[in-house]
Amino acid sequence: MNSRLTIAVLLILIILVGIVAYVSRQPKPSAHPTKNQYVFTPHPTSLQRFSYKPASGPELAFKHVGTHWLIVSPIKARGRDYAIGDLASTLADLKWRYRNRISSSGSHSLAQAGLEKPKAVLTVVNQSGKTFTLNIGSQNATGRLYVHVSGSHNPYIDVVKADWLSRLDRPVRKFRNRSLTSFHTRNIAKITLNSAGRTIQIVPHGKGWLLTKPLLAPAATSAVTNWISNLQLLTAHRFSSVPASRAGFKNSPLTITVAFKPPHPLPAVGGKSKAAASKPLPAPTPLVINFGIKTDLTGKFYYAESSYNPGVCVVRNTSFTQMNQSFNKLRDHHLVAADVATEASKITITRRIGVTGNTPAVLTLGKISGKWVLNTSPTQRETADNAAVSKLLTDLHSVKAKRFIDAPRNLTALGLSRPSARWNITLTGHIHPIEIALGTLQKSGLMPVKLAQWPSVYLVSPAAVKELLPQLTALRNKTVADLTGDKIQRIALRHAGQTVALQHVSGKWLLNAKTPAEAAAVNNLLAAWKPLQAKKWFINTRMVSSVPPITMDITLLHFNKSVPSAAPATKKPAAPAKAQAITQHDVLTIWNTIIPAKAVGSKTTAKNKQAAVKTQWRAELVQTGQAPQNPAWIFQPKSSLVSAVQSLLRPHK
């Protein structure tokens, strides 16, 4: 037992003696400056280049170009800007904790500090091009590192922290940028996709994009924008050592080429731009990305290479799928762009005679001072329903092709050589109008539609096309007249031999010039007239009434100021304008008409007979003494007007 204890004590003593001997051999801090100072003097504010060469192994070198860091050794590739830039800042700001004057032998010698044969050499170049070479030695017992800036005028060994060294002792892949692209969308001049013998070409066009190959077609802005976003986010899963000759790039399943616009001219100097004084600035080098074969039988990854970040890399199959888009997925299936609803200034709809019934062969809408005007005939114009026109244009944008005929050979078979209807839309700020031709229904159940500016034929749903051919009555302003109560002097209602007269006297309404009228009933009638609204318009509809009609004679009084006469030669002030009274007589007729309705079921029953008969109120306003706001068309009045009139015709106590 005593022998074991003795052996343990001896081992502890041997270890302690070894530690003391090791520490005594380390260079001791000198009495020279003890404040933290920069290792590189003058202190560099930034680095242009730096390299790290270990005693054994390849050199790791970086170069700052513009706003990016490049790896120049052991490979040429894009670097991770943040990681390399942060490391460069750490190296530029490297400080010593203390320093020892170099001696030829002993603890402060280069050999003792491991600097006679450095373990690694760090070379940095500052913003002015000055080069510093830092020899890296061994670490002391406290973990600090001995370094020496080489040069005949540096007599010191610096002792620095060693944490930065581990950031340099990493494989080059840790510094490599995995992004395969770097560009801004506004700089794109052309995008080309080559895949399986087909070529798709996209160019900027106005606020969106245009497909120019394999044929001319509008591109779906959202689809192209999403595709470009995915391209900008394209990254390598990892980089590979497989040679390019074995990665399948020779017969690439997909090659993407992005051409860029030339840079803008430099700011003017002395009345001339620098670009004008020299040759035109060349366009940047195009971005080219090649996809190769699948990396293995699992099919989860593809080989790829990028001109932006050279070298064979591996990308996920989802990246390949996102990039390999078809022509139909990138084209716009909408008949017209969304801006037609806001930029349209004139609409002309031409229909073949005999197809539209009461609707004119040519229907024209024009926008004046932000409001739509409807031309009901070559000589007649009236206010259109803005909401109805806006809905019409919105419905037009909502029409989407279910299929396309990209090379139509027989327009006659499609009914497009003599279209059943045509649209012509003028857009503000555009030279050429949008011209749309409507064909005939096909056996497929789809309707062919042709736009003059595109070679393809759109096959759309017939139900969607039906909404594009509105009746004239659907676009007419629903306001029949604005009969304000303060202008109405007298109202006479006649129905089935009954007459009810309302007279406006001294701010009060009298019934049959005798008793005060029921205020609620009169107010309801006046409210229904301010303004008088139509639920629906009818053209050339004859009055077919199931009961005697209700007739209202309305007398209105307008006061218009007359034009003042010119001042006489005596220079006396002109006489003030006099109010001129104008009497207007309007006649509003309301009747309940019979409308046939479909019977329910096949058997003739009492219930079916009742369902086959339906009534609906109709009305007509004839205005005299003043130019009418709308021609005298028959319309369906609102229920509030009918209720107010019926209330006044009830017997009064």
pLDDT digits (tens, 9 = 90+) for 208-237: 999 999 999 999 999 999 999 999 999 999
The CA distance from 155 to 108, in Å, is 11
Give the pairing of strands 579-596 and 550-561. antiparallel
pLDDT at residue 370 above 60?
yes
pLDDT at residue 566 above 60?
no
Confidence of residue 106 (pLDDT cuts 50, 70, 90): confident
The CA distance from 416 to 5, in Å, is 111
Q: Is the pTM of this model over 0.85?
A: no
Segment among 444-448, 535-539, 549-553, 627-631 with least mean pLDDT: 627-631
Instruction: Show which of 475, 508, 540 is a domain's final residue.
Output: 475
Instruction: Say yes or no: 490 and 614 in one domain.
Output: yes
Question: In terms of C-beta density within 10 A (0-12 exposed, 13-18 middle, 19 or more buried), how is residue 588 classed?
Answer: buried
Confidence of residue 544 (pLDDT cuts 50, 70, 90): low
pLDDT at 625: 53
Instruction: Say yes or no: 500 and 633 in one domain.
Output: yes
Instruction: Say yes or no: 643 and 497 in one domain.
Output: yes
pLDDT at residue 119 above 90?
yes
Tokens representing residue 47 in the block: 């680095």
pLDDT at residue 578 above 80?
no
Of 138, 137, 163, residue with least CA distance to 149: 137
Helical ranges in 498-627 per DSSP H: 519-528, 606-611
Instruction: Say yes or no: 606 and 485 in one domain.
Output: yes
| Domain-located, residue 7 | no
The CA distance from 230 to 542, in Å, is 64
Question: Would you tell me how many other CB atoms lie within 10 Å of the CB of residue 403?
Answer: 13
Q: What is the CATH number of the domain that holds 86?
A: 2.60.40
- Integer-rounded Cα radius of gyration of the chain: 45
| Domain-located, residue 15 | no
pLDDT at 105: 84
261 sits in which H/E element: none
| The residue to which tokens 């890296």 are assigned | 136
Confidence of residue 611 (pLDDT cuts 50, 70, 90): low
Instruction: Say yes or no: 451 and 490 in one domain.
Output: no
Average pLDDT, the chain: 83
Instruction: Say yes or no: 379 and 490 in one domain.
Output: no
Of 240, 232, 194, residue with least CA distance to 213: 194
| Domain-located, residue 386 | yes
| The residue to which tokens 């109120």 are assigned | 617
Of 290, 282, 257, residue with least CA distance to 188: 257
Of 228, 287, 233, 227, residue with least CA distance to 255: 287
The CA distance from 181 to 186, in Å, is 15
| Domain-located, residue 17 | no
Average pLDDT over residues 328-335: 94
Confidence of residue 567 (pLDDT cuts 50, 70, 90): very low
Do residues 509 and 503 lie in contact, with contact meaning Cβ atoms separated by under 8 Å?
Answer: yes
Beta-sheet strand order (sheet of 287-294): 217-218, 208-213, 198-205, 188-195, 254-260, 287-294, 301-306, 313-316, 238-239
Instruction: Say yes or no: 499 and 636 in one domain.
Output: yes
Tokens representing residue 111 in the block: 């050999």
| Domain-located, residue 567 | no
Average pLDDT over residues 130-154: 89
Instruction: Show which of 330, 348, 366 is a domain's final residue.
Output: 330
Q: Give the total number of structural domains in the chain.
A: 4
Q: CA-CA distances (angstroms) from residue 260 to 285, 306, 352, 511?
A: 7, 16, 49, 82
The CA distance from 341 to 36, in Å, is 70
**367: which residues sit within 8 A by CB, 6+ positions away?**
344, 345, 346, 373
**383: which residues sit within 8 A by CB, 6+ positions away?**
371, 372, 373, 374, 477, 479, 629, 630
Confidence of residue 13 (pLDDT cuts 50, 70, 90): confident
Tokens representing residue 252 in the block: 């690439």
Question: Would you tell me how many other CB atoms lie within 10 Å of the CB of residue 136?
Answer: 24
Average pLDDT over residues 537-550: 71
Instruction: Say yes or no: 239 and 124 in one domain.
Output: no
| Domain-located, residue 569 | no
| Domain-located, residue 269 | no
Helix axes 519-528, 639-649, angle to 10 degrees: 150
Of 611, 619, 624, residue with least CA distance to 636: 619
Instruction: Say yes or no: 450 and 487 in one domain.
Output: no
What one-character DSSP code corresponds to residue 278? S
The CA distance from 333 to 398, in Å, is 10
Instruction: Say yes or no: 347 and 325 in one domain.
Output: no
% of the chain exceeding 70 in pLDDT: 82
* DSSP string over 451-512: ETTSSSEEEE-HHHHHTTS--HHHHB-SEEE---TTTEEEEEEEETTEEEEEEEETTEEEET
| Domain-located, residue 13 | no
Question: In terms of C-beta density within 10 A (0-12 exposed, 13-18 middle, 19 or more buried), how is residue 490 classed?
Answer: middle
Range of the domain at 445: 340-475
Instruction: Say yes or no: 351 and 402 in one domain.
Output: yes
Instruction: Say yes or no: 471 and 492 in one domain.
Output: no
Q: CA-CA distances (angstroms) from residue 584 to 148, 284, 525?
A: 108, 75, 19
| Residue-level length of the chain | 653
Rounded to the nearest angstrom, the gap between the alpha carbon of residue 608 and the centroid of all alpha carbons in its chain is 54
Summarize pLDDT for 33-75 with one digit per residue, the tens. Answer: 555 689 998 899 999 999 999 988 899 999 999 888 999 999 8
Summarize pLDDT for 283-325 with one digit per residue, the tens. Answer: 789 999 999 999 999 999 999 999 998 889 999 999 999 999 9
Instruction: Show which of 115, 142, 174 is a domain's final residue.
Output: 174
